[in-house]
Amino acid sequence: MRTDDFKFLIECAIKAPSGHNTQPWKFENIETGIIIHPDFRRALPVVDSDNYELYISLGCALENLLIAATQKDYMCKVRYPENATNSIIIDITKDDVSNVKFDILFNEIAKRQVTKCKYNDKPLSDDVLKQLGSCFNFEGVSLHILNSKKNFEKIIPLIIEANNLQFENKDFLNELVYWIRFSKNEAEKMKDGIWSATMGMPGLGRFIGSLVMKNFITAKSEEKRLIDLLEHTQGLAIFISDTNNAEDWVKTGQAFQRFGLTATCLGVSHAHLNMPCEEITVRQKLTKDLGIENKHPLLLIRYGYAEEMPYSYRRSLKDVI
Ligand SMILES: Cc1cc2nc3c(=O)[nH]c(=O)nc-3n(C[C@H](O)[C@H](O)[C@H](O)COP(=O)(O)O)c2cc1C
């Protein structure tokens, strides 16, 4: 593949979301296509001890890459090597223009964001919901939409329970603080992590920011914030995988990425409330409540309408190739 096409595809891939914006990926240009490698130096051992969110993030990057390839008339075939826990191989061939169908979600790749603020009270129309509910088709991955407060009320105690488990865990807080970028300067310099402005927080700088996070943000204060967010949430979307292995985590990421891009196209905002999926004891209760025993709820997403927030940074190509 020509170097400029390779770079174009990777530019699009890295605009994908990732847990704590760790960007846990590396890309290799090989004769027959591209390999996406997990970068375990950027793992989150506390909040994501089995790396399932890391693989979901790779799936998001993969889907962006596949969508961008349609813009350049490339045909792609995804395969996983024997040891599926390692990398994703994309075989790429240039094809006759007429055979490649341009994916219109390409137009949303740069505009998409995870919007972490409070949403307004405008409901989604049935048509918008229908489009969100049918935005992907991956075998083994399904979407459960709980539209309206009445439908998702039963999930709220699980969100709070998992939030309490996390904020009472010092290691969780230390890992989170490590990945927060407490000023524009820090975010620009590191080009990764969660920039405080994307959460609507003032730029306090690392010293004061960590002090505030470690001394004033408690399970109780977070609970209050979450209840407020949920008051202003139009619905919850839960991504469910039939199996719990690396290949299906990647597929879940691909499905979530199509959801995020479709939502962007429809002007709908979305953000994670992932704690009940991350805390395994709570995930088991969620599975039971949803009546999906033997399946795996991996992502919990709130949605609604909101103003755009500042965009997160990305590392440069030379850091990921
Ligand atoms: C697998 C995964 C898990 C995530 N979990 C959370 C979460 O629990 N809470 C949250 O606010 N954002 C979560 N995010 C969103 C990321 O923080 C966000 O994608 C990242 O900061 C980059 O921002 P952007 O997507 O707006 O570019 C998650 C994203 C992914 C892909």
In this structure, the residue with its CA closest to atom 15 of ligand 1 is 19
pLDDT (tens digit, 9 = 90+) per residue, 203-233?
999 999 999 999 999 999 999 999 999 999 9
Residue of 101, 196, 158, 185 lying closest to 273 (CA atoms): 158
User: Ligand 1: which of 11, 18, 48, 239 to mutate, most ligand atoms within 8 Å of CB?
Assistant: 18
Give the list of residues 6+ apart from residue 119 with CB closer than 8 angstroms, or none: 229, 232, 233, 234, 269, 302, 303, 304, 305, 306
pTM of the model: 0.97
Confirm if 54 and 38 have CB atoms less than 8 A apart.
yes
| Cα(16) to centroid(ligand 1), Å | 10
Backbone angles phi, psi at 141, to 5 degrees: -125, 130
In this structure, the residue with its CA closest to atom 25 of ligand 1 is 17
The domain covering 3-111 belongs, at the CATH homologous superfamily level, to NADH Oxidase (3.40.109.10)
Confirm if 152 and 235 have CB atoms less than 8 A apart.
yes
Count CA atoms closer than 13 A to 309's CA, side-chain side.
Answer: 23
Binding pocket residue ranges, ligand 1, CB within 6 Å: 17-21, 53, 56-57, 60, 113-114, 116, 194, 271-272, 274, 312
| Cα(302) to centroid(ligand 1), Å | 12
In this structure, the residue with its CA closest to atom 7 of ligand 1 is 272
Ligand 1 atom nearest the C-alpha of 116 is 11
pLDDT (tens digit, 9 = 90+) per residue, 230-256?
999 999 999 999 999 999 999 999 999
Other C-beta atoms within 10 Å of 55: how many?
27
| Cα(19) to centroid(ligand 1), Å | 5
User: Ligand 1: which of 62, 274, 282 to mutate, most ligand atoms within 8 Å of CB?
Assistant: 274
In this structure, the residue with its CA closest to atom 5 of ligand 1 is 19
CA 127 from centre of chain: 24
pLDDT score at 85: 58
| Cα(144) to centroid(ligand 1), Å | 19
Per-residue pLDDT tens, the chain, 321 aa: give them.
Answer: 889 999 999 999 999 999 999 999 999 999 999 999 999 999 999 999 999 999 999 999 999 999 999 999 999 999 988 765 579 999 999 876 678 899 999 999 999 999 999 999 999 999 999 999 999 999 999 999 999 889 999 999 999 999 999 999 999 999 999 999 999 999 999 999 999 999 999 999 999 999 999 999 999 999 999 999 999 999 999 999 999 999 999 999 999 999 999 999 999 999 999 999 999 999 999 999 999 989 999 999 999 999 999 999 999 999 999
| Cα(256) to centroid(ligand 1), Å | 11
Ligand 1 atom nearest the C-alpha of 15 is 27
pLDDT (tens digit, 9 = 90+) per residue, 97-135?
678 899 999 999 999 999 999 999 999 999 999 999 999
| Cα(274) to centroid(ligand 1), Å | 9
| Cα(124) to centroid(ligand 1), Å | 22
| Cα(71) to centroid(ligand 1), Å | 26
Confirm if 116 and 309 have CB atoms less than 8 A apart.
yes
